[in-house]
Amino acid sequence: MLRLGERVIFIADCLEQNLPIGGYGYIIAYERNNDNIFDYVIRVPKDNKHYYVPASDIELEEVLLQQEAAQIEKEALIDFALATKNEELFRRVMNGGAIPEPEKERDKEVQSREDFIKQIGLKAWI
């Protein structure tokens, strides 16, 4: 639950109340009635209005700024990886930061001499 007085930004309008999406407001009260769909009362100083909104329609300004900074950082890393032709960095950024593990040998059995020569011969043709 968000605290009173926190600055929030409208991110959706699921109940079609003509909320100022992208605009900001301040939490001035909680709606404590269990029979009501609304969670908060938001004061929008620009419009000089109060809106009753569900929690899904608003987000804290700090959270949105952090998400935007993470997105810009990811785009900058992708641009840098493409400019320097760094394929490893590009793949790591595109895969969400997961470092790929090196492939492990599937067969740890000792090969016979004939199989080894056959395998080398196949690789030589390729």
Share of the chain above pLDDT 70, in %: 88
- Section 94-115 average pLDDT: 66
Regarding beta strands 58-60 and 7-10, do their DSSP bridges make them parallel or antiparallel, or are they unpaired? antiparallel
Residue 33 in this model has a pLDDT that exceeds 90: no
- Nearest-angstrom CA–CA distance, 74 and 67: 11
Segments forming the whole domain that contains residue 89: 63-94
Q: Higher confidence at residue 110 or residue 33?
A: 33
Asked, for residue 108, whether it belongs to a domain, the answer is no
What are the tens digits of pLDDT across the range 41-77?
A: 999 999 999 999 999 999 999 999 999 999 999 999 9
- Nearest-angstrom CA–CA distance, 63 and 6: 12
- Residue 93: count of CB within 10 angstroms of its CB: 18
Same domain, 51 and 15: yes
Same domain, 54 and 67: no
Same domain, 44 and 68: no
Same domain, 45 and 21: yes
What does the mean pLDDT of the chain come to?
86
The torsion angles phi and psi of 51, rounded to 5 degrees, stand at -125, 140
| Residue 101 pLDDT class (50, 70, 90 cuts) | low
What is the tally of structural domains in the chain?
Answer: 2
| Residue 102 pLDDT class (50, 70, 90 cuts) | low
Q: Do 52 and 58 touch, CB atoms closer than 8 A?
A: no
- Nearest-angstrom CA–CA distance, 50 and 27: 10
